[in-house]
Structure 1
Amino acid sequence: MKSVTPDTATASCTSAARPRATSLQRWVWVHKWSSLVCTLFMLLLCLTGLPLVFYHEIDHALGKHIEAPEMAAGTAHLPVDRIVESARRHHPDLVPLYLFKEEDEPDMWVVKMDTRPDTDETQAKFSVVDARTGEILGEPRFDEGFMHLMYRLHVDLFAGLAGRLFLGFMGLLLVVALVSGVVLYAPFMRKLDFGEVRRGRSTKLWWLDMHNMLGIVTVTWALVVGGTGVINTWADLILKAWQAEQVAALKTAGGAAAGSGGSVAPLQSLVDAALAAEPGMAVATVAFPGTLLSAPSHYAVFLHGDTPLTAKLLKAVLVDPVSAAVIETKPRPWYATALLVSQPLHFGDYGGLPLKILWALLDLVTVVVLWSGLVLWWRKHRHAAAAPVSVTPAVSTAQGGT
């Protein structure tokens, strides 16, 4: 029988521990650099995202929200054709792109218009139209003011698609930093109780414990918001892919050119056809042919359900503008579903004001986590730079190669 001496046992333990230590060092490197690269941008996104969570509430408080005048309950709504006519008279040099209807404003339509259907929509104009009278109630401006500044900084840094994709990459780094932080937190907590913050010791130790405690408490929320934020930065690409899939489905169904020739049916009949094809749903958006959300020769009517979840999961129905026939297409692709879920979830827009308040509190906690990570790195970097360099005989020998 082979005997095991204390020395061989120690060597065996040491060799087993060495790969674990090396693996831990790799995770430390990954966490350090993924965090450092994205932290400043994540701080910017947290600070700009905070007012965006309360976008509607701030608009109401500032008196910028347009409301429909009070009328007798049950006042009939005009056909959507009349709504479009009112918007055209208001902006005779523009063409309609979309009609929007908010859940909480059933008596109003918002008409988005631009010079032609295939523009980038950055210079589009909006008209709010009373659904009962056709009167223009206002012309909201989304390209000015404090909230516009917050929105553009949060979405694309005023750099368009390139800015969106850059922030999406920063979001991916945040996810990497969060996952690596969880991996590093596991061995750290073997020595402490969960969430313990050691007091009465060094300030550096207090910052470290606060950073770890707040980070692990909010990690699930941060992963959700970070992941949905990354998906939202791909919105333009996802919508174009969805449009391409719709066009391909039209060709398969033999309806690619169905919209050409013949007189165009009333828009209200197209909307009614979409509603008849999907009973129990309501209209959220009508996209005109050639826009990003429709097909080149067909209208797309987006419908929603009446529950907190289905109200955000829009279903696109393509309608032939001549025959008012609903075109059978494939079910909504998974990537479009991911986008439709991510957009409201990113800002906590599922559970009303209570969920928004929770989102805001978690956002503030995340700011503390990010800031404490910067403080820890800066103090360590400053102390390392200020520390005197001493060369031990072992190090001297290693450097000399003898």
Structure 2
Amino acid sequence: MQRSTIKAWFLVHKWTSLICTLFLLLLCITGLPLIFGEEIDHLLEPHAEQTASPGPARDYDEQVKTALAQYPGNVPLFVGWDPEANTMYVNTGERADTPPPQMKTALLDSSSGAVVPAAQFNEGVMYFILRLHTDLFLGLPGMLFMGAMGLLFAVAIISGLVLYGPFMRRQRFGTLRTGRSRRLAWLDLHNVIGVVTLGWALVVGITGAINTIAKPLESAWQSEQLGEFAARYAGQPRPTTLASLQAAVDTARAAEPEMRPAFVSFPGTGYSGDHHYGVFMQGNTPLTGRLYRPVLIDAVSGELTAQPQLPTYMSVLLLSQPLHFGDYGKLPLKILWALLDLLTIAVLVSGLYLWFKRGSTEARVAEIERAEKIGGTA
């Protein structure tokens, strides 16, 4: 590799790493508890599993009324189900376009219809960590900024591999040159751990960047596919008297018999326009359970309107979200994700140490040239 090429790659690696490292440390530290978010929620909410009882589900409309009684004056926004816990949640708000941070949630036993004690999804320590991880409490600008940091991280990984590649070809994997200087030993440790976590870090970094553009992608889907159905109701006000939710879900089940309902969006929430229930169905396998098929039900007549296919970019988004946190393989994969997260923290910390102990750019480039020529033994 020519000297000018080495210097260019070194500068790319140096500056992409420096710009994103502190934010990546924040992401890795906050990501650790989020990997085990489901398990932590179960520990913090032990009453939910104890209260829910197995049995046939109660009428959904009655359950929505029970939920609204907890928050007088609110309107229903979303309804969803957790079949494992046999519970149903109802998100409510003061108006149809209430943002998630202002929503209130009631959790109900699907069989008895009783209110199940549960914390609000938008309160508490885990919600604070999630917001810090996803958008720094800055909304969409914060999400896009963190996505840019994820992409810089991917560039830093690739450039680091390019620089470390010549050394890897001439030495056994895991070589640590401990006989020279502390900084050189830290450099080798930084490189070895970086190579070990290479694939995982690229996957998590890229899927994290994809997740940060979820809102723009959802808006694009809504304008593309829901726009044509909304045009049929141009000039008509949003209905105030809605058809039966139970009947709407039953109609969606009949339309997609191989799938089960995951959640329902009420008119005005943005997921199904102003005149439809959006019954979002999901499959029963680990893969199809991550994908949704929307079924639009006229909110006044209760009749089936359409079954639009999710575009490819929405499917990519839905598949990347659980991959980012290791949700596909339950607890064993989550433990592996956590270990790799800790190793990535070690890479970031060692990178900061190397920067503080840095020499000149020319000296670093010369060191890389020596490693390339004589296998890093000089």
TM-score by length of 2: 0.89
Alignment of 1:333-372 (within 5 A): 333-372=311-350
Percent identity at matched positions? 48
- Residues 41-56 of structure 1: pairs in structure 2 closer than 5 A: 41-56=23-38
* Greater than 6 Å deviation, 4+ residue runs: 255-263
2:278 pairs with one of 300, 309, 319: 300
Amino acid at match of 1:202: S
The letter for the 1-side match of 2:20 is C
Change (3 A) 1:195 1:169: same
1:309 has 2:287 as partner: yes
Structure 1 residue 261, shift from structure 2 partner = 7.3
Alignment deviations for residues 353-376 of structure 1 (CA, whole Å, 9 cap, x no partner): 001001000000000011111111
Name the CA distance, whole Å, in 1 between partners of 2:351 and 2:316: 31
Q: For 1:182-193, list aligned pairs within 5 A.
A: 182-193=161-172
Cα distance, 1:78–1:345 mapped onto 2, change above 3 Å:
same
Contact 1:282 1:303 in 2 (8 A): yes
Is 1:270 the counterpart of 2:248? The answer is yes
AA aligned opposite 1:371:
V
Structure-2 separation of matches of 1:87 and 1:260 = 22
Q: Give the Å deviation of 1:184.
A: 1.6
Does 2:57 correspond to 1:89? no
For residues 14-93 of structure 1, what are the structure 2 equivalents within 5 Å? Answer: 20-63=2-45, 66-67=48-49, 69=51, 71=53, 75-93=55-73
- 1:160 matched to 2:143? The reply is no
Superposed displacement of residue 216, structure 1: 1.2
Are the structure 2 counterparts of residues 113 and 261 from structure 1 closer, same or farther at C-alpha, using a change threshold of 3 Å? closer
- Residue 251 of structure 1 and its aligned partner are, at CA, apart by 5.3
Q: What is the SS of the residue equivalent to 1:67? A: helix
- Distance, in Å, in 2 between the alignment partners of 1:122 and 1:263 is 26
Q: Are 1:28 and 1:184, in contact at CA under 8 Å, matched by a contact in 2?
A: yes
CA pair 249-196 structure 1, distance change in 2 beyond 3 A? farther
Provide, for residues 160-193 of structure 1, a one-character-per-residue CA deviation record: whole Å limited to 9, x for no partner: 2221111111111111111212222222323322
Structure 1 length as normaliser, TM-score? 0.84
Distance of aligned partners of 1:131 and 1:139 in 2 relative to their CA distance in 1, 3 Å threshold: same
8 Å contact 1:255–1:327 — kept in the other structure? no
Q: Per the alignment, do residues 263 and 148 of structure 1 end up closer, same or farther by CA in structure 2, a change over 3 Å counting?
A: closer
Counterpart secondary structure, 2:108? strand
Structure 2 CA distance for partners of 1:255 and 1:281, relative to 1, 3 Å? farther
1:257: Cα distance to partner? 7.8
Distance, in Å, in 1 between the alignment partners of 2:302 and 2:280 is: 15
When the two structures are aligned, how many residues end up with a matched partner? 362
Deviates more, 1:61-70 or 1:263-272: 61-70
Residues 111, 127 of structure 1: 8 Å contact kept: yes
Q: Residue 260 of structure 1: CA displacement?
A: 6.7
Question: What does 1:237-276 align with in structure 2 at a 5 Å threshold?
Answer: 237-250=216-229, 254=232, 264-276=242-254
Superposed, 1:113-132 pairs within 5 Å as 113-132=92-111
Compute the RMSD of aligned alpha carbons: 2.3
CA–CA separation in structure 2 for the residues paired with 1:344 and 1:230? 13
Which residues of structure 1 form unaligned runs of 5+?
Answer: 1-16, 388-402
Residue 194 of structure 1: CA displacement?
2.6
> Which of 134, 153, 157 is the equivalent residue of 2:113?
134
Please say if 1:171 is aligned against 2:150. yes
Decide whether the 8 Å contact of 1:59 with 1:65 is kept in 2.
no
Structure 2 vs 1, CA of residues 347 and 122 (structure 1 numbering), >3 Å: closer, same or farther? same
Cα deviation per residue 1:281-309 (whole Å; 9 max; x = unaligned)? 11111000111322221111111111111
Deviation for aligned residue 1:327: 2.5
Q: Partner amino acid for 2:23?
A: F
Indicate the structure (1 or 2) with the bigger Cα radius of gyration: 1
1:100 aligns to 2:100 (yes or no): no
Partner of residue 220, structure 1: 199
Higher relative contact order (CA 8 A, sep 6+): 2
Does the 8 Å CA contact 1:68/1:108 hold for their aligned counterparts? no
How much has 1:69 moved relative to structure 2?
Answer: 2.7
Contact residue 304 and residue 310 of structure 1 kept, 8 A: yes
Tell me the amino acid that sits aligned with residue 103 of structure 2.
A
Distance of 2:83 and 2:31 partners within structure 1? 23
Label 1:131 to 1:259 Cα distance change in 2 as closer, same or farther (>3 A). Answer: farther
Change (3 A) 1:263 1:65: closer
- Distance in 1, Cα, partners of 2:358 & 2:270: 50
Please say if residues 68 and 130 of structure 1, whose CA atoms lie closer than 8 Å, have aligned partners that are also in contact.
no
